[in-house]
A and B are shown apart, each in its own frame.
Chain A
Amino acid sequence: SAVISQKPSRDICQRGTSLTIQCQVDSQVTMMFWYRQQPGQSLTLIATANQGSEATYESGFVIDKFPISRPNLTFSTLTVSNMSPEDSSIYLCSGRLAGGSEQFFGPGTRLTVL
């Protein structure tokens, strides 16, 4: 199994600023993912974080808005850039072990943009 932690757990930010969310895994995971979740809603995949290369973004999400880094197998960051109130959401980090199907999830980062 894998334990995933995220920092910060929550933040309140001003419009136009940027926030970087950190995701740390206690095991080497081959796949890491970033999701967005409105409270009480389902998960929307933002991107797959690839080690040492550019992330793979889903339709509707772009690198300029959500730059992602993944320098090694246990760490990734997601930046929410030039924030607007529409970016208020919960951001979840997730990982999958090599050869495994189960995805493990972080506790989420609750972002509020004023």
Chain B
Amino acid sequence: AQTVTQSQPEMSVQEAETVTLSCTYDTSESNYYLFWYKQPPSRQMILVIRQEAYKQQNATENRFSVNFQKAAKSFSLKISDSQLGDTAMYFCALLRYNNNDMRFGAGTRLTVKP
């Protein structure tokens, strides 16, 4: 079975500071993808960052980076220099290779305060 767990229902951070969102997952597969998706209030869900499990190097996209610990099945998202526009629900997701079903965590509601 695949499961994705986000243990932080809500978080807040001051503008320009750094925040880390946690995600753990469980899968018996060795090949898979991990994702962080952002869903701003009343807006469309978009991809923030993607990590392929076979890659040891942590993915980075501008102010967003991940800490991927495969053995620990942990996939946290770090947002540096937080901006007001980062306020959103963030979902961690897991997709096995050659599989249709992307599994999502419960989400973390992040609020960036001015």
Binding site for B on A (CB under 8 A): 31, 33, 40-43, 45, 48, 56, 92, 101-103, 105-108
**What's the minimum C-beta distance from B42 to chain A, rounded to whole angstroms?**
9
Quick check: B106 and A107 within 8 Å, CB to CB? no
A33 to B45, CA, bound (A): 14
Known contacts: A42-B107, A43-B91, A43-B104. The answer to whether A106 contacts B33 by CB under 8 A is no
In the bound complex, residues from chain B placing their C-beta under 8 Å from that of A42 are 91, 104-107
Quick check: B89 and A40 within 8 Å, CB to CB? yes
Quick check: B102 and A103 within 8 Å, CB to CB? yes
Over the window 87-104 of chain B, the binary record of Cβ atoms lying under 8 Å from chain A Cβ atoms (1 yes, 0 no) is 001010001000011101
Quick check: B101 and A45 within 8 Å, CB to CB? yes
List 19 A–B pairs whose Cβ atoms lie within 8 Å, in order of A's numbering: A33-B100, A40-B89, A40-B107, A40-B109, A41-B106, A43-B104, A45-B102, A48-B100, A48-B101, A56-B100, A92-B45, A101-B33, A101-B50, A101-B52, A102-B35, A103-B47, A105-B44, A107-B43, A107-B44
Known contacts: A48-B100, A101-B50, A102-B50. The answer to whether A41 contacts B44 by CB under 8 A is no
In the bound complex, residues from chain A placing their C-beta under 8 Å from that of B106 are 41-42
Known contacts: A41-B107, A42-B105. The answer to whether A101 contacts B43 by CB under 8 A is no
**What's the minimum C-beta distance from A74 to chain B, rounded to whole angstroms?**
18
A15 to B104, CA, bound (A): 30
A18 to B35, CA, bound (A): 34
In the bound complex, residues from chain B placing their C-beta under 8 Å from that of A105 are 37, 44-46
In the bound complex, residues from chain B placing their C-beta under 8 Å from that of A103 are 47, 102
In the bound complex, residues from chain B placing their C-beta under 8 Å from that of A56 are 100
Residue of A nearest to B35 (CB): A102
In the bound complex, residues from chain A placing their C-beta under 8 Å from that of B43 are 107
In the bound complex, residues from chain A placing their C-beta under 8 Å from that of B89 are 40
Quick check: B95 and A101 within 8 Å, CB to CB? yes
A103 to B44, CA, bound (A): 12
